[in-house]
Amino acid sequence: MTFVTSFLPQDPAKTAVPIEKSPGYWSGVFQRFRKDKLAIAAGVIVLLLILMAILAPLVAPMDPYAGRTIRRLRPIGTTGFPLGTDELGRDMLSRLIYGARFSLMMGVTPVIMAFGIGSLIGIVAGYVGGATNTVMMRTIDVFYAFPSVLLAVALSGALGAGIQNALVSLTVVFIPPIARVAEAVTTQVRNRDYVEAARASGANALTIIRVHVLGNVLGPIFVYATGLISVSMILASGLSFLGLGVRPPEPEWGLMLNTLRTAIYTQPYVAALPGAMIFITSISFNVLADGLRNAMDVKV
């Protein structure tokens, strides 16, 4: 630009204007995100949920494991138990607060692990191409050929109940979709002129991946992965609901929902509470991910 403008007749009023640094990509993302009120509200709820999980011992009014059958299934609004008590007489409010620890951990961890493994598989397959790509992606396709709930239930059903097995199953479920997105964007980036130019100027594969590929593919993959957290929350709590994830007496929302099923005739509102927590968390992550996608202008 400066080269071209220097040939134009100089306007004395304009020459004095100092050069402004053009706003970068991230500041544009931030500007767009700031205007999205719904996404900000969702982000605030997610932050509050995370804080609630971290500070559970400080905020919870009672011990989430201490129950007494004499005060079982109290309604919402009972003095001392603002959200009632569960089928073993444990304080629902405290259990819901502590439940955030288990449920968030169970929902978010698989997506983070799948983000790492899936990106690695997809980027390598997309960058190397050829037969390596075919073998890797066809293997991924096999796992993608299972409906996600079925694969999660099949794996954790075979491995047996427990937190670890549920986390492994969910990670396996989320690797294929992430790897496919990673492979698609990497293949696109790999054929761009700047990658060609870097290769022509003698850069080795690792440098190209680090400098040119990662910077351009991690954004879209990240946005796509955030969108999966909502599904992962529902699936993870679903596994515990089936008795395949977190086990009693731990307070996990899906598991609490299952054990309270017997109470739908006596205390319907108390019985529905854990599910409402899963719903709030899942919808907040969903809206937040949508906001991120729009702000970062990613199409996946």
Partner 1 sequence: MLVYLGKRLVYTIPIVIGVSIVCFMLVHIAPGDPLVSVLPPDASEQLKIQMMAAYGFDRPYYEQFFKWCLRAIQGDLGTSIATGRSVTGEVLNAVRNTLLLAVVATFIGFFFGLLFGFVAGYFRNSAIDKIASILSVIGVSVPHYWLGMVLVIVFAAQLNWLPPTGAGPGGSSEWRPDWAHIRHLILPAVTMSVIPMGIVARTIRALVADILSQDFVPALRAKGLSELGIFGHVVKNAAPTALAVMGLQLGYLLGGSILIETVFSWPGTGFLLNAAIFQRDLPLLQGTILVLALFFVMLNLIVDVVQTAIDPRIQRS
CB closer to partner 1, 83 vs 234:
234
CA angle 225, 227, 228 (to 5 degrees): 65
Give 45's Cβ-side CA count (13 Å radius): 18
The least distance separating partner 1 from the CB of residue 286, rounded to whole angstroms, comes to 5
The token pair at 238 is: 């679903």
CB of 247 to partner 1, least distance (A): 13
For the chain, count helices (H), then strands (E). Answer: 14, 0
Taking the complex as a whole, the smallest distance from the CB of residue 282 to partner 1 amounts, in Å, to 4
CB atoms within 10 A of CB 14: 8
β-partners of residue 91 are 85
Smallest distance from partner 1 to CB 289, Å: 10
The nearest distance, CB 288 to partner 1, in angstroms, is 11
Residue 288: exposure state from Cβ atoms within 10 A (0-12, 13-18, ≥19):
buried
By beta-carbon proximity to partner 1, the closer residue of 114 and 213 is 114
**Rounded Cα–Cα distance for residues 171 and 178 (Å):** 11
**Least distance between partner 1 and beta carbon 272 (Å):** 6
Nearer to partner 1, 172 or 185 (CB): 172
- Closest approach of Cβ 285 to partner 1, in Å? 8
Q: Which is nearer to partner 1, 152 or 208 (CB)?
A: 152
Q: List contacts with partner 1 (CB under 8 A).
A: 138-139, 141-143, 145-150, 153-155, 157-160, 230, 233-234, 237-238, 241-244, 254, 257, 261, 264-265, 268, 271-272, 274-276, 278-279, 282-283, 285-287, 290
Q: Using CA atoms, how far apart are residues 221 and 98, in angstroms rounded to an integer? A: 31
Instruction: Give dist(CA 127, CA 75) in Å, integer.
Output: 59
The one-letter amino acid code at 256 reads M
R_g of the chain computed on alpha carbons: 25
Nearer to partner 1 by Cβ, of 65 and 144: the residue is 144
Of 49 and 155, which has the nearer Cβ to partner 1? Answer: 155
CA 59, CA 54: separation in Å to the nearest integer? Answer: 10
Q: Which two tokens stand for residue 166?
A: 């549920």
Nearer Cβ to partner 1 (43/212): 43
CB of residue 207 vs partner 1: minimum separation in angstroms? 34
Q: How far is it, in rounded angstroms, from Cα 85 to Cα 78?
A: 9
Query: How far is residue 201's CA from residue 189's CA, in Å, rounded to a whole number?
Result: 17
Q: With respect to partner 1, which residue has the nearer C-beta, 208 or 239?
A: 239
